Structures are given as C-alpha cells and as structure tokens.
C-alpha cells in the first residue's frame, strides 16, 4: 500500500486546490453549505485565531459538542497548526469531564451550551469557578493548571470565554505567512487527535492518533466502499468517536466527496436528508438503522439514491443487515471491525463481497495492516477457523495512551502487535468473524462501557460496600448495564437511590438500567467473582420481575 505521508492540513489544501467549488459539508436541515474552498477559508481564520490567543503547536485543545458545524472547523484548524484535538464524549458529566481536562493537560476547551439533560456551561463554571472573574486567555485555575482558555462555540458571550466569531475575526487580521510556516512544520507522525476510551483498569485512557494513522485508515475505508468525488455520505454518528472522524470525515476527505451532516441522530431527519441530498452512502450503528427502517413514516421517503455505507460499532444483527440491503437500497453496505487504538479499522468487507459474507463476517484486513488470530494464553498464531484473540500490526497502531506507558505495554506487545481483547476466527480465504470478548467490556448500542469504571464509581457512594457490573443481553441495544451491589452493614439505601446517584454524575449510557442489591457474590474456589453467573442471575431476576408485573 502506498501510504499518504502528508499531514491532514497539507492533504486538505491539496484537495481544495483540485476543485475549490466542490461541496464538502452540508447541513440539510438548515440549508447550510460549504464548498471545499469556503470551508478552508473558515478553517484558516479559526487556526489563526487560535494562534492569536496563544495556542501553540503541541498544545492540547478539547472539544465538547454535538455535531455542530464548527466541530469540524476546530478539527481541521487544530490539525493545520499541529495542535492535538481532544474529543470529549457528548454524554459526559462533571465527574468524567473533570478527569479528561486534567489527564489530557488541556490548554483550551471549546464547548456548546449543553446536550440533552447535561448543561455544559453549568458544569464548566462549577469545575472552573475562576472563569467568571478571569481575563480571557489568562485563566489561572487551581484544579487545572494547564487550562488557560475556554471557547464558546457560537455567537453568545459568556463570562471568561472567547466565542468562535471573535476568534474568526481575530484570525482574519493575523498574518498568513505565520500560518503557512506552521502548517509546513507539522509532521505526519505527530499526534493530531486524542480520544478517551474507557479502560479495563477503571479510568479512561487518552488514545494518541497521528495524521498518518487516521488519513490512511480513512483512505482504505473509502476505497472499500468505492467512494469517488461524486459520493454523498449521510452522517448521523457522533464526531467524537473514530467512527465519526475516520470512517466518516477522513474517508470523505481522501476521496474528495461530500459530507451530509446531522447535528444529532434522529431517524426522520436521516431519511429526509438522504432524500433531499440524494445521498449515496449512509452510516450508523445497528440501532440507528433499525430505528430508520421501522419508523412509521419510512415508506414516505425515496432512498433509491443509496448504494453503500457502513453498519458498525457493535455486532451487526444478520436480519438488520438484510433489511438495510433490501428495503433501504444499500445493496453494497459494508461493515468495519476495529478499535480506537487501531485508528480504528482493522478489517472491512467490500462492496463486491457476496451478501452472505457482508452479513456474517467483518471482511478482510486492510492493505498495510497485518491481522492475525492468536492463542490468548501463548500468543502463538492459530490455524484457520480456530477461535482466538484478534491482533493487528501496521501503520494504523496508535502512538500509545497519553502519559500511561505501562498501560500501553499491556496492549501493544514487544513485536508491535496490538491486542484487541476480542475473540474471533479467520477462514481460509482471510475473512474474519467476531465471536466474543476476552475482556468484560459491554457494548451498548455502539458505546463501549467498561464495568470496572462504573464499579469504581459506585464504590465511592456512601453506604456501598462492593459493586459488580455486568452486561445483560437486550433486544434494542445489544447489551445494557446491570449492577449487583452489596451494602455496608447499616446502610439504608434502595436500588432507586443508587440509580439517582449515578444519573447525576456519569453519562446516561453508563448508568445501570438494572440494579440488584444482594448479600454475596457467586465465587470460584479461588475466591474470584463469577461474572457469568451474575449475568445469568440478572436475566432470571428480570424475567421474574416482568412476569410479576404482567
């Protein structure tokens, strides 16, 4: 494979130069349209504005926002000036945001006013009370010594914050030569993006991805869908994930195609966007596609322009895949397998694969990426059709976890193989299938949840002696979170109290749907908790509750 050795900034400008008038980003619900040339101008003004307030190459800038139009302006502006963009999950609440700002050494945070039930402004003023009385850009925070600026993504003014309009205006007066010098000084092996992935050890880890990692992975992902500049991708997945940035934005950028964006997922808006903009591709996790084709108004929309797309993020149900092919015209739908640490794609099906293989496998490895199945105990490669751990090696492996060298060594071995923690097989023809997981991770509708993180959080609740979290099978989300809690001797706590405590402090998708207060855990002879028995017990208790309520 011939790798792209450009940075995102340089590569983007090359694509702009080919046809500046080609449409790059469209928000169909408000008829907002940017050509490659228009968007580049906006990006350059923001990049210069960031330089103007003292953001320098190598700094870390966070973005905490749904898919608003300027999310991507920040992404390209920071990439051009060699700044690392730290993407913050939109569902995070104070507990998680506090950790990410601190652990990432964030120098500036760009945010919107909030999302669903989470008020971002209230949280940031709570975490950084000095913001209300600080001169902008000269913040001195007791809790976050690195944080110097907070930027509001929008036109409103908030105390202690810049807003994007001011930065654009500032940037328009800043010299182009300085920007151009910095763009040329950035290297394709520099870190461009940091995403937090929940860790098996409890705390999220910042995955450091380079320009080379994400650009080349995006190129392969677009190639597998036969993307050209004529393709138009309807894009309802969040940008803060690799699914958004790489499978979406980088696949489009490398093929000079068009992104049809949605700020948040709404099945009706997706269907309307596909019809209005004659989209040729559609992305989503399985629950999104299911919500689209089961929508009562589904038949009112013309989706005949669709050809391909990606269903990924969690195990794709065979029936859902077949419905998308048959009823949504995505005859060439593909699926990608990977993980954030592999930036993220390891394997993908192609548009030419027979439908059975596109439904039942996650395809073959990408060019430039070696994938193998090994015995988890010995690390030895296994013969075809034998279940083992999937590992990969190549240009796509992350630089490591930020400031966590020991954690990095646990997943990338001495020979450079990244260990996924997922179980699967590879057949004689090189097609991979995912069969399960070594680790306890729960995948709820495409969101990765690590039980340890929630267990440690629940442990901190007064009155809780111990907590064990398991994934419970669920028709809608694939899996949901269940928690088994043992209370302190005299604690007067009900299941609802534990749930209320969690709802107020952690992202809603991590909050246990079912909480069971029990006296003891099932143990092995050596005293280890048998989580599979807890899972069985959870299903038994839920079934009993449902019977009693009916």
Q: Which of 9-18, 137-146, 288-297, 307-316 has the lowest mean pLDDT?
A: 307-316
Q: Kindly state the percentage of the chain with pLDDT values over 90.
A: 80
Residue 327 has pLDDT above 60, yes or no: yes
For residue 495, the domain's CATH number is: 3.30.300.30
Residue 280 has pLDDT above 90, yes or no: yes
Each residue of 332-347: pLDDT tens digit?
999 999 999 999 999 9
Each residue of 6-51: pLDDT tens digit?
999 999 999 999 999 999 999 999 999 999 999 999 999 999 999 9
| Residue 122, domain member (yes or no) | yes
| pLDDT band at 202; cut points 50, 70, 90 | low
| pLDDT band at 70; cut points 50, 70, 90 | very high
| pLDDT band at 423; cut points 50, 70, 90 | confident
Residue 527 has pLDDT above 60, yes or no: no
| pLDDT band at 451; cut points 50, 70, 90 | confident
Residue 528 has pLDDT above 90, yes or no: no
What is the structure's pLDDT at 90? 93
Residue 83 has pLDDT above 70, yes or no: yes
Among residues 152, 169, 188, the one where a domain terminates is 188
| Residue 102, domain member (yes or no) | yes
| Residue 485, domain member (yes or no) | yes
Separation of alpha carbons 101 and 82, rounded Å: 19
Phi and psi at residue 510, in whole multiples of 5°?
A: -90, -15
| Residue 298, domain member (yes or no) | no
What is the structure's pLDDT at 198? 65
Q: Kindly state the percentage of the chain with pLDDT values over 70.
A: 97
What is the structure's pLDDT at 355? 86
Cα separation values, 202 from 198, 353, 407, 453, Å: 7, 39, 12, 4
| pLDDT band at 526; cut points 50, 70, 90 | very low
For residue 48, the domain's CATH number is: 3.40.50.980
Pair 442, 449: CB distance under 8 Å: yes
Q: Which of 201-210, 414-423, 488-497 has the lowest mean pLDDT?
A: 201-210
**Which positions ≥6 away from 363 have C-beta within 8 Å?**
224, 334, 335, 336, 337, 347, 348, 349, 350, 353, 357, 431, 432
What is the structure's pLDDT at 440? 73
Angle (CA) 318-322-325 rounded to 5° is: 140
Residue 111 has pLDDT above 90, yes or no: yes
| pLDDT band at 201; cut points 50, 70, 90 | very low
Phi and psi at residue 64, in whole multiples of 5°?
A: -125, 90
| Residue 285, domain member (yes or no) | no
Among residues 172, 188, 204, the one where a domain terminates is 188
Full domain range(s) for residue 144: 1-188
What is the structure's pLDDT at 200? 39
Closest CA to 166 of 183, 149, 181, 145: 149
Q: What total number of domains does the chain contain? A: 2
Among residues 188, 223, 245, the one where a domain terminates is 188
SS3 452: helix
Joined tokens for residue 506: 């952690």
What is the structure's pLDDT at 249? 98
What is the structure's pLDDT at 402? 98
What is the structure's pLDDT at 466? 83
| Residue 204, domain member (yes or no) | no
| pLDDT band at 513; cut points 50, 70, 90 | very high
| Residue 301, domain member (yes or no) | no
DSSP β-ladder status, 418-426 and 432-437:
antiparallel
| Residue 304, domain member (yes or no) | no
What is the structure's pLDDT at 199? 45
Provide the whole-model pTM.
0.86
Which of the residue ranges 114-118, 165-169, 310-314 has the most confident prediction, judged by mean pLDDT? 165-169
């Amino acid at each position: 494979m011939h790798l792209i050795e450009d940075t995102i900034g340089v590569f983007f400008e090359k694509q702009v130069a080919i046809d500046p008038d080609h449409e790059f980003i469209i928000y169909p619900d408000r008829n907002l349209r940017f050509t490659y040339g228009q968007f580049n101008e906006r990006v350059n003004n923001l990049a210069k504005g960031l330089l103007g307030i003292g953001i320098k190459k190598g700094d870390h800038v966070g973005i905490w926002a749904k898919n608003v139009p300027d999310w991507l302006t920040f992404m390209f502006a920071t990439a051009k000036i060699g700044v690392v963009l730290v993407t913050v999950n939109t569902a995070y609440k104070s507990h998680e945001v506090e950790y990410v700002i601190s652990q990432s050494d964030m120098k500036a945070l760009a945010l919107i006013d909030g999302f669903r039930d989470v008020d971002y402004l209230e949280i940031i003023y709570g975490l950084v009370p000095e913001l209300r009385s600080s001169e902008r850009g000269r913040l001195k925070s007791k809790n976050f010594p690195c944080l110097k600026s907070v930027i509001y993504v929008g036109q409103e003014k908030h105390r202690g914050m810049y807003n994007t309009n001011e930065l654009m205006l500032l940037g328009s007066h800043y010299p182009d030569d300085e920007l151009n010098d910095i763009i040329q000084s950035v290297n394709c092996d520099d870190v461009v993006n940091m995403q937090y992935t929940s860790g098996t050890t409890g705390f999220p880890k910042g995955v450091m991805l380079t320009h080379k990692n994400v650009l080349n992975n995006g190129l392969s992902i677009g190639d597998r869908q036969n993307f050209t500049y004529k393709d138009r991708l309807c894009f309802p997945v969040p940008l803060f994930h690799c699914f958004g940035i790489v499978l979406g934005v980088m696949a489009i950028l490398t093929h000079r195609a068009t992104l049809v964006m949605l700020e948040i997922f709404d099945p009706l808006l997706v269907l309307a966007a596909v019809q209005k903009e004659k989209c040729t591709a559609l992305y989503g996790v399985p629950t999104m596609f299911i919500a689209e084709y089961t929508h009562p108004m589904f038949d009112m929309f013309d989706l005949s322009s669709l050809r391909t797309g990606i269903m990924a993020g969690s195990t794709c149900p065979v029936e859902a895949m077949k419905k998308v092919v048959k009823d949504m015209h995505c005859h060439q739908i593909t699926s990608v397998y990977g993980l954030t640490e592999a930036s993220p794609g390891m394997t993908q099906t192609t548009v030419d694969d027979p439908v059975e293989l596109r439904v039942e496998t996650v395809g073959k490895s990408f060019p430039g990426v070696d994938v193998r199945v090994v015995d988890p105990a010995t690390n030895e490669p296994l013969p075809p059709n034998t279940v083992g751990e999937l590992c990969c090696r190549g240009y796509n492996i992350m630089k490591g976890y930020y400031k966590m060298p020991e954690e990095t060594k646990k997943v990338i071995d001495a020979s450079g193989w990244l260990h996924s923690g997922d179980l699967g097989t590879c057949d004689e023809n090189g097609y991979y299938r995912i069969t399960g997981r070594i680790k306890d991770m729960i995948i709820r509708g495409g969101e990765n949840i690590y039980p340890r993180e929630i267990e440690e959080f629940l442990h901190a609740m007064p009155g809780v002696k111990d907590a064990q979290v398991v994934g419970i099978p669920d028709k809608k989300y694939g899996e949901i979170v269940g928690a088994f809690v043992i209370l302190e001797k005299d604690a007067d706590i009900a299941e609802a109290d534990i749930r209320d405590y969690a709802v107020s402090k952690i992202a809603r998708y991590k909050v246990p749907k079912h909480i069971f207060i029990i006296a003891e855990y099932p143990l092995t002879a050596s005293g280890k908790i048998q989580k599979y028995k807890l899972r069985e017990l959870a299903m038994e208790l839920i079934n009993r509750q449902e019977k009693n309520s009916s």
